[in-house]
């Protein structure tokens, strides 16, 4: 150790030393992120200015009429994506507690939170204007999710947070993009909103992917242990939502997000980090790497098994006024 005073953050002294040493790298990645983005706001997508003309009222009427044709599978995905985005307070807290609140990570957490906050606002504006749901029921689910909290079993390990966000941001990007595509031919505004959200998630994914890649380079054995733990137990942040299992099963059946999409994310990350080429590991690190390299094939088998055994299932959701959806 170098005698650094441990910041008020989670992690062992060795992990904290790694995270402090890589702060210039994080700052550079944050600058790169800001330089690449084009800032947008929910009102750019769903205008609600007091000076809007009658043409805007006509457009709103058109949107509501077209939105009647959005299939229920896409509606469930929109609801699940919205509820997940509304869990932002949980993630701001997790980043602050795991990464500290007195370094470049504080700046990133605030910037990331400001960008992510627009997602729930924009998506809520859309589903409300389009009259897609029983909003009272959806709001009750949202409240229950926020009240329930989101406390993953990361054992105060900051490496797990960076591994998880690398996987989760990409998963959210895929879910948003695929949901938008299901709506595009029926009501293109939905696709436009989801494309903006997906674009942000893709840039956030690249940031976290780069940061965890730096951890892998500096502290590979401990990083691989964290990655193994998070990968094998991965769950989307909305898993505490009431009815999440049914909603996520429907979304999987609709081809929006499920095991096959997760498999492709894992394969993309493993290739980007060149896990297969890692050398000089400890016995523990090598054992973790061997298990991680087997994950894509394991996921493929799980998806194949599910496809063989799958039978149509009927779902019902209060936010759709209880009507059934069969897939």
CA separation for the pair 201, 122 (Å, rounded): 14
Q: Which domain holds residue 240?
A: 13-48+56-309
Residue numbers of the chain with a pLDDT score lower than 50: 1-3, 5-7
Tell me what pLDDT residue 325 has: 96
Residue 65 lies in a domain: yes
Residues 200-219 pLDDT 10s: 999 999 999 999 999 999 99
Tell me what pLDDT residue 309 has: 94
Tell me what pLDDT residue 13 has: 95
Query: Tokens in use for 35?
Result: 């330089």
Q: Which is it for the CA torsion 88, 216, 97, 34, positive or negative? A: negative
CB 152 within 8 A of CB 164: yes
Average pLDDT over the chain, rounded to an integer: 95
Tell me what pLDDT residue 252 has: 97
Residue 5 lies in a domain: no
Residue 319 lies in a domain: no
Q: Assign residue 103 a region (left: φ > 0; alpha: ψ between -120 and 50; beta: otherwise).
A: beta
Residue 292 lies in a domain: yes
pTM over 0.75? The answer is: yes
Torsion, Cα of 82, 84, 89, 95 (10° steps): -140
Residue 323 lies in a domain: no
Residue 124 lies in a domain: yes
Tell me what pLDDT residue 5 has: 47
Residue 207 lies in a domain: yes
* DSSP SS3 for 294: coil
Tell me what pLDDT residue 8 has: 63
Residue 241 lies in a domain: yes
Burial of 83 (0-12, 13-18, 19+ CB in 10 A): buried
Torsion, Cα of 152, 157, 158, 163 (10° steps): -60
Q: How many CB atoms are closer than 10 A to CB 154? A: 20
Q: Which helix (H) or strand (E) holds 297?
A: helix 295-309
Tell me what pLDDT residue 6 has: 44
Total domains in the fold of the chain = 1
| DSSP3 helix / strand / coil % (the chain, rounded to 5) | 75, 0, 25
Tell me what pLDDT residue 108 has: 98
* CATH code for the domain in which residue 213 is found: 1.10.620.20
Q: What is the gyration radius of the CA atoms in the chain, in angstroms?
A: 21
């Amino acid at each position: 150790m170098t005698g650094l005073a441990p910041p008020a953050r989670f992690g062992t002294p060795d992990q904290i030393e790694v995270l402090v040493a890589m702060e210039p790298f994080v700052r550079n990645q944050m600058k790169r992120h800001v330089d690449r983005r084009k800032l947008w706001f929910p009102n750019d997508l769903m205008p609600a200015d007091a000076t809007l003309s009658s043409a805007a009222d006509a457009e709103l009427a058109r949107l509501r009429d077209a939105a009647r044709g959005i299939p229920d599978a896409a509606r469930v995905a929109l609801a699940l994506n919205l509820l997940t985005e509304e869990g932002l307070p949980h993630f701001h807290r997790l980043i602050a507690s795991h990464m500290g609140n007195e370094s470049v990570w504080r700046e990133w957490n605030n910037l990331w939170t400001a960008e992510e906050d627009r997602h729930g606002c924009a998506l809520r504006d859309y589903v409300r204007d389009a009259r897609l749901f029983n909003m009272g029921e959806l709001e009750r689910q949202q409240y229950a999710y926020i009240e329930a909290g989101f406390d993953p079993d990361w054992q105060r390990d900051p490496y797990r947070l960076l591994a998880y966000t690398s996987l989760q941001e990409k998963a959210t990007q895929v879910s948003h993009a695929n949901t938008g595509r299901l709506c595009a031919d029926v009501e293109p505004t939905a696709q436009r909103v989801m494309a903006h959200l997906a674009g942000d998630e893709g840039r956030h994914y690249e940031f976290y992917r780069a940061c965890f890649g730096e951890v892998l380079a500096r502290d590979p054995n401990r990083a691989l242990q964290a990655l193994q733990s998070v990968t094998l137990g991965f769950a989307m942040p909305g898993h505490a939502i009431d009815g999440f299992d049914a909603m996520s099963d429907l979304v999987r059946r609709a081809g929006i997000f499920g095991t096959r999409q997760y498999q492709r994310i894992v394969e993309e990350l493993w290739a980007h980090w060149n896990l297969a080429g890692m050398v000089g590991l400890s016995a523990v690190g090598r054992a973790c790497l061997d298990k991680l390299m087997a994950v894509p094939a394991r996921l493929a088998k799980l998806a194949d098994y599910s496809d063989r055994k799958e039978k149509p299932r009927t779902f019902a959701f209060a936010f759709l006024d209880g009507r059934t959806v069969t897939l």
